[in-house]
Amino acid sequence: MKCRQCEKTEMIEKKENHHYRECGLDNVTIVGISVRRCPSCGNVMPLIPSIEGLHDALAQAIIKKNGPLTPSEIVFLRKYLGWSGSDFARNMHCDRSQISKWEHGTVEMSKPYDLLLREMVAGGKKITDYQRAELIWKRSIKSRPLRLKLQRKVWMEAA
């Protein structure tokens, strides 16, 4: 394959580690993937299989880490959930300016918000799952009984 940047030379492909800055995090290295390099202009093109799976793994690693989330991790998780800044503010029940402060590192995200964001990611919550309109509390509605059964070492709701 010819280089897309200089269009002069064939790119050379080999397995190597790739510092994956494109995700917005500066501490991610993908180990042992195919990377194409142009010997003329130095253009680098990593061949990343299953990028969605990679981002799932990154999100899971971030929410399991000890300590507060960094600004770049907050941005990554927001984008992972598919939210704009306004969507994020609405789903976190805070002001858009607060989101900006967290993402720019001028204010550290408080522990309750940090835990809420981690829980949303852990639960696979995306765009519309946490809309305020759907979070209606009514005391008059009785909870239905829940029946659970263990099926192949996983708890599931019984029919």
Q: Same structural domain for residues 40 and 56?
A: no
Question: Has residue 102 been placed in a domain?
Answer: yes
Question: Has residue 2 been placed in a domain?
Answer: no
Q: State how beta strands 12-19 and 29-37 pair.
A: antiparallel
Token digits for 54?
Answer: 């990679």
CATH number at residue 73: 1.10.260
Distance of CA 141 to the CA centre of its chain: 35
Please say whether the beta carbons of 10 and 57 come within 8 A.
no
Mean of per-residue pLDDT scores for the chain: 83
Question: Has residue 44 been placed in a domain?
Answer: yes
Task: Report DSSP letters for 135-146, one per residue.
Answer: ----TTSPPPP-
Question: Has residue 23 been placed in a domain?
Answer: yes
Beta bridge partners of 2: 10
Domain total in the chain: 2
State which residues form the domain around 112. 50-132
pLDDT at 136 over 70: no
Question: Has residue 80 been placed in a domain?
Answer: yes
Question: Has residue 151 been placed in a domain?
Answer: no
Q: Mean pLDDT over residues 63-82, rounded?
A: 93
| pLDDT, tens only, 113-128 | 999 999 999 987 654 4
Q: Mean pLDDT over residues 3-25, rounded?
A: 90
Q: Same structural domain for residues 112 and 84?
A: yes
4-18, 100-114, 126-140 — which one is most confidently predicted on average? 100-114
Q: Same structural domain for residues 104 and 45?
A: no
Question: Has residue 89 been placed in a domain?
Answer: yes
Helix (H) or strand (E) holding 149: strand 148-151
What single DSSP character describes residue 21? G
Q: Same structural domain for residues 20 and 73?
A: no
Question: Has residue 149 been placed in a domain?
Answer: no
| pLDDT, tens only, 93-112 | 999 999 999 999 999 999 99
Q: Same structural domain for residues 84 and 110?
A: yes
Output the pLDDT for position 137.
42
pLDDT at 158 over 50: yes
Q: Same structural domain for residues 45 and 64?
A: no
Q: Mean pLDDT over residues 50-74, rounded?
A: 91
User: Among 24-28, 62-66, 77-81, 137-141, whose mean pLDDT is lowest?
Assistant: 137-141
